[in-house]
Homo-oligomer: A and B are copies of this chain.
Amino acid sequence: LFQLETEANALVNFQQYSSQLPPFYESSSHILHTEVLQQLTDLIRSHPSWSVAHLAVELGIRECFHHSRIISCANSTENEEGCTPLHLACRKGDREILMELVQYCHAQMDVTDSNGETAFHYAVQSDNSQVLQLLGKNASAGLNQLNNQGLTPLHLACQLGKQEMVRVLLLCNARCNIMGPSGYPIHTAMKFSQKGCAEMIISMDSNQIHSKDPRYGASPLHWAKNAEMARLLLKRGCDVNSTSSVGNTALHVAVMRNRFDCVMVLLTHGANADARGEHGNTPLHLAMSKDNVEMVKALIVFGAEVDTPNDSGETPAFIASRISRLVTRKALLTLLRTVGADYRSPLLQGVSAEQCSATAQHSFFSLERSQPPPISLNNLVTYWPGNQHPPRVSLVPLETAPEEMPLGFLQSATQARLDGGPGARRQMELQDLVHISRARKPAFILSSMRDEKRTHDHLLCLDGGGVKGLVIIQLLIAIEKASGIATKDLFDWVAGTSTGGILALAILHSKSMAYMRGVYFRMKDEVFRGSRPYESGPLEEFLKREFGEHTKMTDVKKPKVMLTGTLSDRQPAELHLFRNYEAPECVREPRFNQNVNLKPPTHPSEQLVWRAARSSGAAPTYFRPNGRFLDGGLLANNPTLDAMTEIHEYNQDMIRKGQGNKVKKLSIVVSLGTGRSPQVPVTCVDVFRPSNPWELAKTVFGAKELGKMVVDCCTDPDGRAVDRARAWCEMVGIQYFRLNPQLGTDIMLDEVNDTVLVDALWETEVYIYEHREQFQKLIQLLLSP
């Protein structure tokens, strides 16, 4: 039965066997199987220090636990790890043995092994949550015990990703606020990116999402290591801008750790791209040393200022100029120059106070040019004729807390700068710069500039283009920033197609464009999932969430909004406008005789907003049609001409109805595009009857190219549509502005790659900078009464 290796060993082993075996055959009611004996002898050989109770647990023979010899060593710690049989039973996940130990052997529950771990620590590592459940029912002494690594069983479960164990522990009232080496259990779950565990903790104790670890004062979000973990917390409502004890936000941390995916999730969930953290550094300061150009772009695109100085007075641009790695430095500096940043330090070392002051002053003016200078409230001040100060209008802070933004700062700062003599102190100037930089935030609504005061109408037109609607958003943010007025109040008419239609509704419903930017980045991943045509469920869910399931078009009346849709239940298809006002009556004979088979369109007061948005944006082959509607882009991808037609007909109708006095002349048309794809040469759009296989291949290719060309031709929102609108406006004396950045690549309607989209927005920023004079003129006209 026993094979011995040497005689000496054999003797020792025999000794052991003879002392250890009796309890097993004595307690057994029948002869032990050879297999069991073999197992037992192997165990004795490999674990010579184990007590018979340990051996019995490992063997899993219930009967043994009634044997006195085994009961006597039920709490033995004769084991390499210093654990009791109870520990072993928990690790093994053997519920029955555990019950034997507890009920017959009266095993102690709170014994710790040499590692300081209780049975709970062991049970967490097993695969059987019932053991843990049983354990928790019988004892709670070791439930919150820290082991020698400082981990409670809950920490351990989080670290190991044992979601069910976490659930059981929490049900047993394990505490969530015991500090481990990485903070509370929730932080451990975040640190090890254990999604299930983090979700479990938050679902059992929603406060945990806000809990800060005692060591860094960091929220779970600070600990998020990837996009998925960050998204989980943000969806559950954590504060995206909460700060650690040194004042860093999660964005600071994500940037420091060079986690681009996290950065994008945070930014698209409203993280303040310009938050000042430790040492006064913004995320952009930190990004500058990370050799990650995309991250720098993303931060700037989401509103980070390139000229905010940190506590040492260094701007992000200045830090970029000191980067040791040449390639990175060059790339960053080129990047910054394209949006007009000045990367000289406002505080040069070894220069006299006077010189420094002069330099700083020069630098200040340079900074004025930096980023989009026309879109600075400061710049606009000069447009109020004969007045260096803004007019005495009521300034209503929007986002910034009042204490951070004293109303008088602008004048005083300007004053200090203008004094600018030898007496001006370095510290003062730094403050000055910080304030000025802050003043350029989109912080104010000039409530005097409401449309009622205007004598002329303004029209805003937004092209279609799917996710490229982000470009429009970025342009609108620039206009809002520069004018200090919400888009809603700058325009009397807003027309949009497809994505532009969604944005028109967002404007109508007072959603900020910065918010919509985040929404778009988040939405695309949900909506453009799978392959074309996409499921329309997620898009519809999103629209209902944003605009309400029952909101009607006429629920908000100002500005007047129209969305283009293509009524495709007839041939030829017809343009339909979804309006939030009564359609003008038509006095001309109808184009076709009334066809009884065609039901009339829904009246505006009955038209659901989300349905209008969905109908306008039903791009064929991307989404299924919404009922009888196809994408408005088929007929008016650039809605300007149709909007002007509509306004004309509306005004004519008003005049006919004797309300001519209410009619205002259209004076400004602003048409925003979703970015222009680069022009590329095309070689083959020929379709002919093939006479051999090679020609057949060419024909198939040609037909495809031709199809693309025809559709692109017809729906090109940027070609003739713009020339026609411009000529029309010029003929009538309407100011026409077409803003549409040239993009470096052809971006699809359903692009989901963050990097590609950030690049597009970056190009938009560059475009805004390069066309700053045009923007300046536009803002000036929009603000003139």
Flag if B719 contacts A574 (CB, 8 Å).
Answer: yes
Question: B-facing mask of A452-493, CB < 8 A → 1, else 0?
Answer: 000000000000000000000000000000000000000000
Contact of A634 among B569, B642, B714, B731 (CB under 8 A): B714
Flag if B634 contacts A716 (CB, 8 Å).
Answer: no
**9 shortest A-B CB distances, which residue pairs?**
A714-B714, A645-B727, A648-B727, A592-B679, A641-B724, A634-B713, A572-B716, A597-B681, A573-B713
Q: How far is the CA of A569 from the CA of B649 in the complex (A)?
A: 39
Flag if B571 contacts A682 (CB, 8 Å).
Answer: yes
Flag if B689 contacts A569 (CB, 8 Å).
Answer: no
Q: Is A55 part of the binding interface, using a Cβ–Cβ cutoff of 8 Å? A: no
Flag if A624 contacts B688 (CB, 8 Å).
Answer: yes
Asked, given contacts A678-B592, A681-B569, A719-B574, whether A731 binds B635 with beta carbons under 8 Å apart, the answer is no
Q: How far is the CA of A385 from the CA of B571 in the complex (A)?
A: 46
Q: Is A720 part of the binding interface, using a Cβ–Cβ cutoff of 8 Å? A: yes
Contact of A598 among B595, B681, B724, B730 (CB under 8 A): B681
Within the complex, the shortest CB–CB distance from A688 to chain B, in Å, comes to 6
Q: How far is the CA of A728 from the CA of B647 in the complex (A)?
A: 11
Flag if A642 contacts B720 (CB, 8 Å).
Answer: yes
Within the complex, the shortest CB–CB distance from A640 to chain B, in Å, comes to 10
Q: How far is the CA of A160 from the CA of B225 in the complex (A)?
A: 100
Q: How far is the CA of A730 from the CA of B731 in the complex (A)?
A: 12
Contact of A620 among B598, B706, B728 (CB under 8 A): B706
Q: What residues of chain B lie closer than 8 Å to A727, measured between beta carbons?
A: 644-645, 648-649
Flag if A630 contacts B685 (CB, 8 Å).
Answer: yes
Q: Interface on A for B, CB 8 Å cutoff? A: 531, 533, 566, 568-575, 591-592, 595, 597-598, 620-621, 624-625, 630, 634-636, 641-642, 644-645, 648-649, 652, 676-683, 685-689, 706-716, 718-720, 723-724, 726-728, 730-732, 742
Q: How far is the CA of A568 from the CA of B683 in the complex (A)?
A: 9
Chain B residue at smallest Cβ distance from A714: B714
> Copies per complex?
2
Within the complex, the shortest CB–CB distance from A668 to chain B, in Å, comes to 15
Q: How far is the CA of A125 from the CA of B682 in the complex (A)?
A: 65
Flag if A709 contacts B591 (CB, 8 Å).
Answer: no
Q: What residues of chain B lie closer than 8 Å to A742, measured between beta carbons?
A: 592
Q: List 11 A-B contacts (CB under 8 A).
A: A570-B681, A571-B680, A571-B682, A573-B712, A592-B742, A635-B714, A641-B641, A644-B727, A645-B726, A648-B730, A732-B732
Within the complex, the shortest CB–CB distance from A748 to chain B, in Å, comes to 14
Q: How far is the CA of A678 from the CA of B642 in the complex (A)?
A: 23
Q: How far is the CA of A709 from the CA of B621 in the complex (A)?
A: 13
Within the complex, the shortest CB–CB distance from A498 to chain B, in Å, comes to 14
Within the complex, the shortest CB–CB distance from A642 to chain B, in Å, comes to 6
Flag if B719 contacts A687 (CB, 8 Å).
Answer: no
Q: How far is the CA of A541 from the CA of B498 in the complex (A)?
A: 46
Within the complex, the shortest CB–CB distance from A710 to chain B, in Å, comes to 6
Asked, given contacts A531-B689, A710-B714, A732-B732, whether A720 binds B635 with beta carbons under 8 Å apart, the answer is yes
Flag if B711 contacts A620 (CB, 8 Å).
Answer: no
Q: How far is the CA of A642 from the CA of B725 in the complex (A)?
A: 10
Within the complex, the shortest CB–CB distance from A182 to chain B, in Å, comes to 46
Chain B residue at smallest Cβ distance from A666: B731
Contact of A571 among B625, B687, B709 (CB under 8 A): B709
Asked, given contacts A591-B718, A625-B686, A641-B641, whether A730 binds B652 with beta carbons under 8 Å apart, the answer is yes
Within the complex, the shortest CB–CB distance from A474 to chain B, in Å, comes to 20
Q: What residues of chain B lie closer than 8 Å to A574, measured between beta carbons?
A: 719
Flag if A620 contacts B716 (CB, 8 Å).
Answer: no
Q: How far is the CA of A591 from the CA of B645 in the complex (A)?
A: 25
Within the complex, the shortest CB–CB distance from A220 to chain B, in Å, comes to 40
Contact of A719 among B575, B710, B724 (CB under 8 A): B575
